[in-house]
Amino acid sequence: MGYMNYKKTEMFREIMEEPDSITKTLDSISESLDKASDALRKADFVFLVGNGTSYHAGNIMAQQLVLYGKPAMAVRASEFYCYASKWNKNVLAIMISQSGENVDIIGATSIAANSGFYTLAVTNTRGSYIERNCEISLITAAGQEKSLAATKSHIAQIAALYALAQRSIAGEGINEIGQKLKSISGYIANILSDESSLEKFYPRLLTKLIFLGDGYLHSVAMEGALKFEETAGIPTEAYPLAEYLHGPIHILSSSQTVIIMGRQDTDAYKRVYNEISKITENIISIGPDEKSDIKIAGVNGPLSSLLYLPVIQLMANWKTVSSGLDPDNPDRLKKIVK
């Protein structure tokens, strides 16, 4: 696959479908949303369980719930056994998986049931194991995802989880939630329609990438690191902004790329940017500020993550193809881990 064909991959095509995946997902979950919201409202504690990309989506919702005062924790499905036990509380376990069929989410769903937890599935696959074995299901509507790299399905997961939290904890109506998601879809569509403006940054993606972001953007940083590892096969790191100064910066070199995300007016951003710029000039900033290398809309809260993700996904697609690799079919990976 040659460099000039990076727009011909399934990954690229599926990224371009992300605005539709959001609006279709809201329609898809509307009938089940009130029942799911009631379960979330009654829960004393919430686990958000998933692997890889799905774990990152759960991490975003966990922060959203905690900020609303609802105790919540995101846990990787493969280590859910370390946290689950029979509690004298009403526990909701939200099982998140694009396929709903990987071995770890199946195991975690069984553990949740044996622990007496109420279970809710968020999956892109109707009829999947977790849909059949959880009490409630929210089916995202990203459509079939042929590329191994989860892109539009991840966007749909975040949209569905956001809608669930806003309906249950914030008490927002479907129309109000729909307007917010429609607005975000429009912002994403603008980013995708201007994809060519990113081309000048693509060659600056070197042989190792470091992703930095706080709060919701730390989940985006982890997802960005995962995307480049599983498609382009290059080493990556992901940290909250100031955490990077607590050791990892020691191995930073001028031959590596730092992607720093968020508003530039925070103390953490200024301090970290100042320190990394002493070591390398190869920094790509993404954020709402006019001085950001890649400028996005100034959206706050969990939906802000949806504006950074397409940019990083497009970068990963380009880097993979320009390296002579296929982002849709990495040699050592499978779409569903068995």
Residues 6+ apart with CB under 8 A from 126: 139
Predicted confidence (pLDDT) per residue in 79-129, tens digit: 999 998 888 899 999 999 999 999 999 999 999 999 999 999 999 999 999
Residue 316: in which H helix or E strand, if any?
helix 305-322
Locate CATH 3.40.50.10490 in the chain: 3-193, 201-322
Give the span between the Cα atoms of 228 and 181, in whole angstroms: 27
Predicted confidence (pLDDT) per residue in 241-282, tens digit: 999 999 999 999 999 999 999 999 999 999 999 999 999 999
pLDDT tens, N- to C-terminus, the chain (338 residues):
344 489 999 999 999 999 999 999 999 999 999 999 999 999 999 999 999 999 999 999 999 999 999 999 999 999 999 998 888 899 999 999 999 999 999 999 999 999 999 999 999 999 999 999 999 999 999 999 999 999 999 999 999 999 999 999 999 999 999 999 999 999 999 999 999 999 999 999 999 999 999 999 999 999 999 999 999 999 999 999 999 999 999 999 999 999 999 999 999 999 999 999 999 999 999 999 999 999 999 999 999 999 999 999 999 999 999 999 999 987 766 666 65
Q: What angle do CA 69, 73, 74 make, to 5 degrees?
A: 135
Q: Which CATH superfamily is domain 3-193 in?
A: Glucose-6-phosphate isomerase like protein; domain 1 (3.40.50.10490)
Specify the fold of 201-322: Rossmann fold (3.40.50)
Q: Which two tokens stand for residue 167?
A: 């309906």
Q: Please give the DSSP secondary-structure letter assigned to residue 206.
A: -
Asked whether 267 and 243 are in contact (CB, 8 A), the reply is: no
Q: What is the side-by-side order of every strand in the sheet holding 257-261?
A: 236-239, 209-212, 257-261, 283-287, 294-295
Q: Dihedral sign for Cα 197, 201, 205, 210, please.
A: negative
Q: Dihedral sign for Cα 183, 187, 188, 193, please.
A: positive
- Which residue's entry shows tokens 């993404």? 286
Q: Please give the DSSP secondary-structure letter assigned to residue 207.
A: S
pTM value > 0.85: yes
